[in-house]
Structures are given as structure tokens and as C-alpha cells.
Amino acid sequence: MQILSLSIGEPFTSPAWGSNFVFFSGDPGAVIPEEDSKEYLRRVCKYARMHQVYLVPERFMLMNYQCMCLVSPQGKMLGAQKATHLYLPAQPGSKRGIAIDVFSTEFGGIFLCVDVDVYHPEVLRIAGEMGAQYVFCSQQISREDYSSHMVTSGIWNGAQANNLFAVAVSNQFHCVCAPLALSPHRDGFLVSPTLRTPVSVQMQADDLAQVPRRRLLGRKLYAVHRGELLG
């Protein structure tokens, strides 16, 4: 599979040279409101086409769902992922999605993890069983709630438990995680938590085959007990 050359940066700024994949960091991590979503999505499609990159833009509201989407270098939306869990104090009136989708690209399978879904292990487990090799998570975290434990229990744990490359952006940190064996310092980070931008990193899904697979609970088990797991 092709090498994914990722650039994490502020919305609508030019990506780092040589990038073929862009993830908007957002400022300050707020969700694009529903009344602005149509125009925002028009702009992100134009951006992806102009720079010839895959793009994961900021989270946005659509029909009362909090969503993330993936845009192709041709400026076409390849699909959207709805949040399956909600942080209700910040999202009153929002609805929860039930589907988990993995998007196929020349880099490998892409899963978009919306906000607090990253703290529900079954979400990334199902995505991994469906063929995800990369996870892109966008979050908003209040300053009083934030601690380093949110990194290790969320995006870092998802990479280790499911043998994935996992990227997180938020208003408190950005980081890129990988299985321990694929990280330079064997700490699970390709890019340690930071707020600097732009951030550039290269990943290749084929490298994941070098990491021994853990014996995991099956996708069918999660499907059978979906009601209990999702509440």
C-alpha cells in the first residue's frame, strides 16, 4: 500500500510539502454548527481538490448528528461517520449514530472516530475488525477535564489494543500513535502530544503486518452485545 504522508494543520492553511493527506486541527476544537455546515463542506471539497490531497476536516453537525467526513483529492465526499456516543453536557439535543464505517483508500482502511467515541474501546475494536488500519479522531476537551490520562486511555490505547495507526487532534493536544514496535522510542508515539502546527509524519499500513496480532474478542461478539456496550 502507498505511504500516507500526513500533515496536521490549521484549517485551510497550505499543507506541508509532499503531503497526500491532511487533517484539520481546528481552533478551538468546536463543532461547525448545522447552519454553517453546507458552506463549510463546499469549502473543504474545494480545498482538497486544489491541493490534491485526502482531507479530514473539522467535526460538523448534520441533521442533529455530530459528524466527521473524508474528502478525496478530486473534491468528493467519500463518506461521513456519525458519533455513536455523546458528551451530553456539550451536545444537548444531539442524536447518536449506530453505524461504524471504514473507508477504503490506496493507503488502507480509514476510520473516523468522532469525539468521545475514542474512549469506548468497542468502537475501535469493531473498526479494526472491519479492516481499519488508520484512525483519525477529532475531539473537543474542556480545560478543566483535560489530563494526560485522556491521551493514554483514548487514542494511544486504541493504537496498542487494535494494532492501528491512530491520529488525534483537539483543542488540548495533537498526537500520532502507533503500535509500540513501530514507534522510534518504543513508547507508542510517532508524534508525542503537542499543540504546535503544522505536524508532518509518514505511515504505511504494510508495516502493521510486522506486529504480532493479539488474540482479540471477535466482531460477532460485539455485534451480539451491541445494546449493552452502547448503553
40: which residues sit within 8 A by CB, 6+ positions away?
32, 57, 58, 60
Least reliable range by pLDDT among 67-76, 91-100, 132-141, 150-159: 91-100
SS3 211: coil
Per-residue pLDDT tens over the stretch 50-75: 999 999 999 999 999 999 999 999 99
Cell of 228: 449493552
pTM for the model stands at 0.90
pLDDT digits (tens, 9 = 90+) for 85-111: 988 665 667 899 999 999 999 999 999
| 18 dihedral zone (left: phi>0; alpha: psi -120 to 50; beta) | left
Q: Which CATH architecture has domain 4-230?
A: 4-Layer Sandwich (3.60)
pLDDT confidence of residue 212: 78
CA dist 101 and 148 (Å) reads 29
103 dihedral zone (left: phi>0; alpha: psi -120 to 50; beta)? beta
Dihedral sign computed on CA atoms, order 155, 160, 162, 166: positive
Q: List the grid coordinates of 175.
A: 498526537
Calpha distance 98→78 (Å, rounded): 19
Per-residue pLDDT at 152: 94
Q: What is the pLDDT of residues 4-15, one digit of tens each?
A: 999 999 999 999
Q: Tell me the sheet residues that pair with 104.
A: 109
